[in-house]
Chain A
Amino acid sequence: MPPAVPPGSEPASRRGVPASRPAMEKMSRSGAALGGAALSGRTMFCHLDAPANAISVCRDAAQVVVAGRNIFKIYGIEEEQFVEKLNLRVGRKPSLNFSCADVVWHQMDENLLATAATNGVVVTWNLGKPSRNKQDQLFTEHKRTVNKVCFHPTEVYMLLSGSQDGYMKCFDLRKKDSVSTFSGQSESVRDVQFSIRDYFTFAATFENGNVQLWDIRRPDRYERMFTAHNGPVFCCDWHPEDRGWLATGGRDKMVKVWDMNTTRAKEIYCVQTIASVARVKWRPECKHHIATCSMMVDHNIYVWDVRRPFIPSAMFEEHKDVTTGIVWRHLHDPYFLLSGSKDSTLYQHIFKDASQPIDRANPEGLCYSLYGDLAFAAKESLISSDSNRKPYIGDRRHPIFFKRKLDPTEQFEYISSSSALSVFETDVESGSMDWFVHTAKQYALAGRPLAELCDHNAKVAKGLDRNQVAQTWTMLRIIYSSLGTVSSANLNHSMGKGSAALPLMNSFNLKDIPTGLGSESRLDRSKGESRTENILLDSSSTLINNEDNEETEGSDVPADYLLGDVEADEDDLYMMDHENPHAEEQEYSLPQEAFPLRHEIVDNPSALDHLQDKADSPHVSGNEAETVSLTPVESFSLISISHSLYENRLPSDFFNPIVRDTLLFYAEQGDVQTAVSVLIVLGDRIRKEIDEQTQEHWYTSYIDLLQRFQLWNISNEVIKLSTCRAINCLNQASTTLHINCSNCKRPMSNRGWICDRCRQCASMCAVCHHVVKGLFVWCQGCSHGGHLQHIMKWLETSSHCPAGCGHLCEYT
Chain B
Amino acid sequence: MLQGAKQGCCSLPCNETGNSLAHLGCSWAKEKRVQVSPPLTRGPSAFIPENEVMQANGLDERTNLLVEEYSTSGRLDNITQVMSIHTQYLESFLRSQFYMLRMDGPLPLPYRHYIAIMAAARHQCSYLINMHVDEFLKTGGIAEWLNGLEYIPQRLKNLNEINKLLAHRPWLITKEHIQKLVKTGENNWSLPELVHAVVLLAHYHALASFVFGSGINPERDPDTSNGVRLIAVNNFCVCDLANDNNIENASLTSSNFGIADSLSELEALMERMKRLQEDKEDEEASQEEMDTRFEKEKKESLLVISGAFDDEIVSTDVSRYIEDPGFGYKDFARRGEDHLPTFRAQDYTWENHGFSLVNRLYSDIGHLLDEKFRMVYNLTYNTMATHEDVDTTTLRRALFNYVHCMYGIRYDDYDYGEVNQLLERSLKVYIKTVTCYPERTTKRMYDSYWRQFKHSEKVHVNLLLMEARMQAELLYALRAITRHLT
Q: Mark A residues whose CB is within 8 Å of B.
A: 69, 93, 95-97, 99, 101, 117-120, 140-145, 164, 207, 231-232, 234, 251, 275-276, 295-297, 299, 320-322, 342-343, 598, 600-606, 608-609, 729, 732-733, 750-751
Q: Which of A164, A602, A733, A750 contacts B108 (CB 8 A)?
A: A602
The verdict on B139 contacting chain A, using a C-beta distance below 8 Å, is yes
Q: Which of A120, A231, A232, A251 contacts B413 (CB 8 A)?
A: A120
The verdict on B111 contacting chain A, using a C-beta distance below 8 Å, is yes
Rounded to whole angstroms, the CA-CA distance of A296 and B485 in the bound complex is 10
The verdict on B287 contacting chain A, using a C-beta distance below 8 Å, is yes
The verdict on B140 contacting chain A, using a C-beta distance below 8 Å, is yes
Question: By the criterion CB–CB under 8 Å, are A164 and B109 in contact?
Answer: no
Rounded to whole angstroms, the CA-CA distance of A232 and B359 in the bound complex is 14
Rounded to whole angstroms, the CA-CA distance of A118 and B139 in the bound complex is 47
The verdict on B104 contacting chain A, using a C-beta distance below 8 Å, is yes
**Taking A143-B280, A605-B140 as contacts, is the C-beta distance between A296 and B67 under 8 angstroms?**
no
Closest A-chain residue to B361, C-beta based? A297
Nearest-CB distance from B385 to chain A (Å)?
25
Closest A-chain residue to B280, C-beta based? A143
Question: By the criterion CB–CB under 8 Å, are B140 and A598 in contact?
Answer: yes
Rounded to whole angstroms, the CA-CA distance of A97 and B68 in the bound complex is 51
Rounded to whole angstroms, the CA-CA distance of A794 and B140 in the bound complex is 39
Known pairs A99-B412, A297-B356, A604-B109; list 17 more (Cβ under 8 Å): A69-B344, A93-B288, A95-B287, A96-B290, A96-B291, A99-B346, A145-B412, A231-B367, A251-B351, A296-B353, A296-B357, A296-B360, A322-B486, A598-B140, A603-B109, A605-B110, A751-B68
Question: By the criterion CB–CB under 8 Å, are A101 and B486 in contact?
Answer: no
Rounded to whole angstroms, the CA-CA distance of A296 and B352 in the bound complex is 8
Q: Which of A141, A275, A342 contacts B356 (CB 8 A)?
A: A275
A selection of 28 A-B contacts at a CB cut-off of 8 Å is: A95-B287, A96-B287, A96-B291, A97-B287, A119-B290, A119-B412, A120-B412, A141-B281, A145-B413, A164-B413, A231-B355, A231-B367, A251-B352, A275-B356, A275-B360, A295-B352, A295-B353, A296-B353, A297-B356, A342-B486, A343-B486, A600-B153, A601-B108, A602-B108, A602-B140, A605-B110, A733-B104, A751-B68
Closest A-chain residue to B138, C-beta based? A605
Question: By the criterion CB–CB under 8 Å, are A119 and B153 in contact?
Answer: no
Rounded to whole angstroms, the CA-CA distance of A69 and B347 in the bound complex is 9
The verdict on B386 contacting chain A, using a C-beta distance below 8 Å, is no
Nearest-CB distance from B164 to chain A (Å)?
24
By secondary structure, the B interface counts as helix
Q: Count CB-based A-B contacts (< 8 Å).
A: 101
The verdict on B314 contacting chain A, using a C-beta distance below 8 Å, is no
Closest A-chain residue to B68, C-beta based? A750
**Chain A residues near B109 (CB, 8 Å)?**
603-604
Rounded to whole angstroms, the CA-CA distance of A405 and B195 in the bound complex is 50
A-B interface, 8 closest residue pairs, ranked by CB to CB distance from nearest: A605-B140, A95-B287, A118-B412, A296-B356, A119-B412, A120-B413, A145-B413, A118-B346
Q: Which of A143, A296, A604, A732 contacts B140 (CB 8 A)?
A: A604
Tell me which of A117, A141, A143, A598 has the highest count of chain B C-beta atoms within 10 A of its own C-beta: A143
The verdict on B268 contacting chain A, using a C-beta distance below 8 Å, is no
Q: Mark B residues whose CB is within 8 Å of A.
A: 64, 67-68, 71, 104, 108-111, 139-140, 142, 153, 280-281, 284, 286-288, 290-291, 344, 346-347, 351-353, 355-357, 360, 367, 370, 411-413, 482, 485-486
**Chain B residues near A732 (CB, 8 Å)?**
104
**Chain A residues near B355 (CB, 8 Å)?**
231, 251
**Chain A residues near B370 (CB, 8 Å)?**
231
Question: By the criterion CB–CB under 8 Å, are A143 and B356 in contact?
Answer: no
Rounded to whole angstroms, the CA-CA distance of A602 and B112 in the bound complex is 12
Closest A-chain residue to B367, C-beta based? A231
**Chain B residues near A295 (CB, 8 Å)?**
352-353, 356
Rounded to whole angstroms, the CA-CA distance of A296 and B286 in the bound complex is 33
**Chain B residues near A99 (CB, 8 Å)?**
346, 412
Nearest-CB distance from A342 to chain B (Å)?
8
Closest B-chain residue to A165, C-beta based? B413
Q: Which of B110, B352, B413 contacts A119 (CB 8 A)?
A: B413
**Chain A residues near B344 (CB, 8 Å)?**
69, 118
Rounded to whole angstroms, the CA-CA distance of A118 and B349 in the bound complex is 12
Question: By the criterion CB–CB under 8 Å, are A605 and B286 in contact?
Answer: no
Question: By the criterion CB–CB under 8 Å, are B351 and A297 in contact?
Answer: no
Question: By the criterion CB–CB under 8 Å, are A320 and B486 in contact?
Answer: yes
Nearest-CB distance from B386 to chain A (Å)?
28
**Taking A69-B344, A96-B290, A604-B109 as contacts, is the C-beta distance between A140 and B284 under 8 angstroms?**
yes
Q: Which of B110, B280, B288, B413 contacts A118 (CB 8 A)?
A: B413
**Chain A residues near B288 (CB, 8 Å)?**
93, 95
**Chain B residues near A144 (CB, 8 Å)?**
413
Rounded to whole angstroms, the CA-CA distance of A296 and B357 in the bound complex is 7
Closest A-chain residue to B355, C-beta based? A251
Question: By the criterion CB–CB under 8 Å, are B67 and A96 in contact?
Answer: no
Closest B-chain residue to A232, C-beta based? B351
**Chain B residues near A750 (CB, 8 Å)?**
64, 68
Nearest-CB distance from A573 to chain B (Å)?
40
**Chain A residues near B67 (CB, 8 Å)?**
751
Tell me which of B71, B284, B286 has the highest count of chain A C-beta atoms within 10 A of its own C-beta: B71
Closest B-chain residue to A140, C-beta based? B281
Rounded to whole angstroms, the CA-CA distance of A143 and B414 in the bound complex is 8
**Chain B residues near A141 (CB, 8 Å)?**
281
Question: By the criterion CB–CB under 8 Å, are B356 and A276 in contact?
Answer: yes
**Chain A residues near B71 (CB, 8 Å)?**
751
Rounded to whole angstroms, the CA-CA distance of A413 and B168 in the bound complex is 60
Closest B-chain residue to A322, C-beta based? B486
Rounded to whole angstroms, the CA-CA distance of A299 and B485 in the bound complex is 11
Nearest-CB distance from A418 to chain B (Å)?
39
**Chain B residues near A118 (CB, 8 Å)?**
344, 346, 412-413
Rounded to whole angstroms, the CA-CA distance of A320 and B413 in the bound complex is 29
Question: By the criterion CB–CB under 8 Å, are B412 and A117 in contact?
Answer: yes
Rounded to whole angstroms, the CA-CA distance of A93 and B291 in the bound complex is 11
Q: Which of B68, B139, B357, B412 contacts A297 (CB 8 A)?
A: B357
Nearest-CB distance from B233 to chain A (Å)?
22
Rounded to whole angstroms, the CA-CA distance of A8 and B130 in the bound complex is 57
Nearest-CB distance from A210 to chain B (Å)?
15
**Chain A residues near B110 (CB, 8 Å)?**
601-602, 605
Question: By the criterion CB–CB under 8 Å, are A598 and B485 in contact?
Answer: no
Q: Which of A69, A97, A297 contacts B485 (CB 8 A)?
A: A297
Rounded to whole angstroms, the CA-CA distance of A99 and B411 in the bound complex is 12
Nearest-CB distance from A164 to chain B (Å)?
7
Nearest-CB distance from B405 to chain A (Å)?
15
Q: Which of B104, B111, B356, B411 contacts A251 (CB 8 A)?
A: B356
Closest B-chain residue to A343, C-beta based? B486
Rounded to whole angstroms, the CA-CA distance of A750 and B281 in the bound complex is 48
**Taking A101-B346, A145-B412 as contacts, is the C-beta distance between A606 and B140 under 8 angstroms?**
yes
**Taking A276-B356, A602-B108, A733-B104 as contacts, is the C-beta distance between A299 and B486 under 8 angstroms?**
yes
Rounded to whole angstroms, the CA-CA distance of A251 and B356 in the bound complex is 7
Question: By the criterion CB–CB under 8 Å, are B356 and A598 in contact?
Answer: no
**Chain B residues near A299 (CB, 8 Å)?**
486
Closest A-chain residue to B287, C-beta based? A95
Question: By the criterion CB–CB under 8 Å, are B346 and A145 in contact?
Answer: yes
**Chain A residues near B139 (CB, 8 Å)?**
605
**Chain B residues near A296 (CB, 8 Å)?**
352-353, 356-357, 360, 482
Rounded to whole angstroms, the CA-CA distance of A101 and B347 in the bound complex is 9
Nearest-CB distance from B308 to chain A (Å)?
36
Nearest-CB distance from A54 to chain B (Å)?
13
**Chain A residues near B347 (CB, 8 Å)?**
69
Nearest-CB distance from B115 to chain A (Å)?
13
Rounded to whole angstroms, the CA-CA distance of A653 and B284 in the bound complex is 83
Question: By the criterion CB–CB under 8 Å, are A603 and B353 in contact?
Answer: no
Question: By the criterion CB–CB under 8 Å, are A603 and B356 in contact?
Answer: no
**Chain A residues near B356 (CB, 8 Å)?**
251, 275-276, 295-297
**Chain A residues near B353 (CB, 8 Å)?**
295-296
Rounded to whole angstroms, the CA-CA distance of A251 and B280 in the bound complex is 32
Rounded to whole angstroms, the CA-CA distance of A299 and B68 in the bound complex is 44
Q: Which of A96, A322, A598, A601 contacts B111 (CB 8 A)?
A: A601
Rounded to whole angstroms, the CA-CA distance of A669 and B258 in the bound complex is 86
